[in-house]
Amino acid sequence: AQSVTQLGSHVSVSEGALVLLRCNYSSSVPPYLFWYVQYPNQGLQLLLKYTSAATLVKGINGFEAEFKKSETSFHLTKPSAHMSDAAEYFCAVIAGYSSASKIIFGSGTRLSIRP
């Protein structure tokens, strides 16, 4: 069975600083991995996805994530935080060739940006 763990329920960074949101997964078969973002009073929006092509995945709004099999990690980064990045971020995993209905979401990390 697959699972996903997001380290840190709340991360606060200064505007212009590096953003690093951590995600570790567990899967007995090669996983498909996703990052979603949820702005206040909205639903989730896909940021990026890893589907076994390139290990470094670029997403929207300047975010990227790197798949590291040896570390079972898929951390989300952005070189320079912007005030508009304040939101909740969810890492998610689907194991191998499973259905999209089997997607497992992490508990989320709330990102705050300090002026």
* Site for another protein, rule CB under 8 A: 9, 32, 34, 36, 41-46, 49, 51, 90, 94, 96-101, 103-108
The amino acid present at 33, given as its one-letter code, is: L
Exposure string for 103-114, b = 16+ CB within 10 A, e = fewer: bbebebbebebe
Is the Cβ of residue 41 or residue 84 nearer to another protein in the bound state?
41
Helices and strands (H and E) in the chain: how many: 0, 11
DSSP 18: P
What does R_g of the chain's alpha carbons equal in angstroms?
Answer: 14
Is the Cβ of residue 32 or residue 63 nearer to another protein in the bound state?
32
Q: How far is the CB of 33 from another protein (least distance, A)?
A: 10
Q: How far is the CB of 115 from another protein (least distance, A)?
A: 27
Q: How far is the CB of 45 from another protein (least distance, A)?
A: 7
